[in-house]
Amino acid sequence: MRKPMRWLAVSDLHGDLAAVWEAIDGFAPDALLCCGDWGDPDRVSEGDLAAVAVRLPVLTTFGNHDPLDALPRVRNRDGSPILLAQGEVRDVAGWRIAAIGGIWAKSHRRRHYVTDEDVAECARRIAAAGSIDLLLTHGCPIGLADLTPRGTHGGQRCFLEAFRAIGPRIHLCGHLHVAQERHLRNGRIVINVGHTPSGDVVVIEGEPPGARRERFDRVARAPA
């Protein structure tokens, strides 16, 4: 049984952790979710991430701008890693949360690249574990909450197939810096969190779980 909780989802911070602190102060969540892109290693340290995890529980996947050496070392106060492993399903107070990180590519030339086969294998493992409340990805399912700033589709078929195979109640993604959502006839929701430094977040709460996009006015901005 899910414990009543308020989750706050952020994404694509690119080193602007002040945005995270402002969002936490503004929405008073019980726990934080991140769809990746905390910032490159020269902009975000292990200590920066640990400070957030001291404040409240954090669950994150990774994108194409993350400190990939530091992320796996950071722990929540209960000792659990903030980073969800590829294809991992974690139970937090009865909420079942899974993740598939990275961006699509045809090779593994970079650490944050994932291929069609990688995404499909993660989706198989997650689907085999049973029902999922929240799925976190950095990449987007093609045709669902995947419009770019130019209005073109920026998602990938492998993430759409993963969404269909897993069937999460709520699929949260990022990467495109455009907050948007799609509500499907079967009750599932796909939400692109958007660009949190611009004020975009998502709040998840209620029973059954519901999600809504929110905006907050920035107090401070990190230099570009």
Each domain of the chain, given as residue ranges in start order, spans 7-215
**Can you name the residues that pair with 204 across neighbouring β-strands?**
7, 211
Q: Is the pLDDT of residue 222 over 70?
A: no
Q: Name the band, by pLDDT with cuts 50, 70 and 90, for residue 220.
A: low
Using CA atoms, how far apart are residues 87 and 98, in angstroms rounded to an integer?
7
pLDDT digits (tens, 9 = 90+) for 16-45: 999 999 999 999 999 999 999 999 999 999
| pLDDT value at residue 224 | 44
Tell which CATH classification among 3.60.21.10, 3.30.70.20, 3.20.20.70, 3.40.50.2300 matches the domain 7-215.
3.60.21.10
Mean pLDDT estimate for the chain: 97
Find how far residue 115's CA is from the centre of its chain.
19
What is the reported pTM? 0.96
Secondary structure (3-state) at 120: helix
User: How many C-beta atoms lie closer than 10 Å to residue 222's C-beta?
Assistant: 14
pLDDT digits (tens, 9 = 90+) for 108-140: 999 999 999 999 999 999 999 999 999 999 999
Q: Which residue has the tokens 């944050």?
A: 112
